[in-house]
Each structure stands twice: as structure tokens, then as C-alpha cells.
């Protein structure tokens, strides 16, 4: 996150969409969002989330950046909504492409506008931490899937590899939802103490 004052003031945060309002206005992938919203946070992780939220410096708000056309978003945003519900967080959503000033504060590796991005704040709107796009296990598995395809089909172009791996990656989305929750819980516990 940038060291200067954030463009996300408490007032601006309150102007974001609720999850229901965001889903109500999206143009594509409503069925995908509904499919991945069936996910439930496991009871043990819900308890860990509630414990971290109850701390004085614990998260009370979550800002999410996303776009309805993005596969990581239609998998990840419903997961984040379930995390917010389990933890009792106030969640507000901002479409990335019309809120680039917010996105610029939370670029992946300082250069990529990766989504979804979840930003956690205290009740006083103090920044705690943020989580970007997908869990580390997903990053590793995507590389492994690509390498296997490349090995089995050396004649394929990079674009053909991307196309061929898409259904293989989509098959992993349900497991990555659980991995996302575990990673977020661990991150919050680490940052809040």
C-alpha cells in the first residue's frame, strides 16, 4: 500500500456496493457468482475469524475490488462475501475499472491490477492488510498445469496453452475457495496478533 494518505476515506468506503447490490447490477456471470456463493466457511475457520474480529485492533470492514467478467472474481468474491458474513465484517465492493485510484494503492507486486483484492480495516478505518487475487496454492497449481500441458503438447502456442488450461483451472476453483479462506484467516491472525 502506498505510504501517502489513502483515497479510501470512511465516507468513500460507505459508498461502495453491498454484495447483494453488486450482484444486482452486474451484467455477466450471475450464474457463476451464484454457483460459488454456495460455498460455506468451515465452523473452525468461522470461529477463528470471529476471534480476530473481536480484538480491539481487529478488522471490522472489508473493501473488495473486482469486475464481473473475471474468473478469479466470480470465484473469489463470493468467498470473500462468505468470509465477511462469518466474521461479521461490513463489506463494500468497488468495480476496479471505475475506481483505478483505489486499485493503484493495492497493486500486486506494485504493478498488477489483480482482482479480487480485499482490503481490511479497523472500525476506525485504519488499514490492517490486504489479500490479492488467489491463494498461493493456486499460483503454484496454475504453473504446474501450464508446465504439464507444455510438456505433453510442445507444439502448442502460449495462447493455446492458456485456452487448454482454462477448464483444468476451473475444476480447481472449489478447492481454492477453501484455500483462500485459510490464507485470509492466517493473514489476519498474523497482522492483528
CATH number at residue 42: 3.40.30.10
pTM of the model: 0.94
User: CA 130 to CA 155: how far, in whole Å?
Assistant: 40
Query: Is residue 174 a part of any domain in this protein?
Result: no
What range does the domain containing 48 cover?
10-134+183-192
pLDDT at 193: 87
Q: How far is CA 145 from CA 35, 153, 158, in A?
A: 24, 12, 13
Phi, psi of 130 (to 5 degrees): -145, 160
Q: In sequence order, what are the beta bridge partners of 132? A: 117
Query: Is residue 109 a part of any domain in this protein?
Result: yes
User: CA 51 to CA 64: how far, in whole Å?
Assistant: 22
Task: Compute the Cα dihedral for 75, 30, 188, 125 and give only its sign.
Answer: positive
Query: Is residue 168 a part of any domain in this protein?
Result: no
Query: Is residue 142 a part of any domain in this protein?
Result: no
Query: Is residue 164 a part of any domain in this protein?
Result: no
Distance of CA 82 to the CA centre of its chain: 11
What does the pLDDT look like over 71-117, one tens digit per residue?
Answer: 999 999 999 999 999 999 999 999 999 999 999 999 999 999 999 99
Instruction: Report residue 2's pLDDT band, with 50, 70 and 90 as the boundaries.
Output: very low
Domain count for the chain: 1
pLDDT at 99: 98
What does the pLDDT look like over 16-38, one tens digit per residue?
Answer: 999 999 999 999 999 999 999 99
Query: Is residue 36 a part of any domain in this protein?
Result: yes
Amino acid at each position: 500500500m502506498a505510504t501517502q494518505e489513502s483515497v479510501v476515506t470512511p465516507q468513500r468506503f460507505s459508498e461502495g456496493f453491498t454484495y447483494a447490490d453488486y450482484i444486482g447490477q452486474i451484467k455477466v456471470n450471475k450464474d457463476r457468482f451464484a454457483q460459488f456463493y454456495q460455498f460455506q466457511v468451515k465452523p473452525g475457520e468461522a470461529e477463528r475469524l470471529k476471534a480476530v474480529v473481536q480484538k480491539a485492533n481487529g478488522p471490522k470492514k472489508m473493501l473488495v475490488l473486482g469486475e464481473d467478467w473475471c474468473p478469479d472474481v466470480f470465484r473469489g468474491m463470493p468467498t470473500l462475501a462468505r468470509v465477511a458474513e462469518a466474521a461479521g465484517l461490513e463489506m463494500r465492493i468497488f468495480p476496479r475499472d471505475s475506481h483505478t485510484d483505489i486499485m493503484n494503492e493495492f497493486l500486486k507486486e506494485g504493478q498488477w491490477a489483480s482482482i479480487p483484492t480485499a482490503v481490511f480495516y479497523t472500525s476506525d478505518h485504519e488499514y490492517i492488510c490486504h489479500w490479492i487475487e488467489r491463494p498461493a496454492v493456486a499460483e503454484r497449481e496454475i504453473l504446474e498445469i501450464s508446465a504439464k500441458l507444455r510438456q505433453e503438447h510442445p507444439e502448442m502456442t502460449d495462447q493455446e496453452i492458456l485456452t487448454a488450461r482454462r477448464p483444468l483451472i476451473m475444476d480447481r476453483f472449489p478447492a481454492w475457495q477453501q484455500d483462500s479462506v485459510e490464507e485470509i484467516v492466517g493473514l489476519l491472525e498474523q497482522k492483528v496478533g
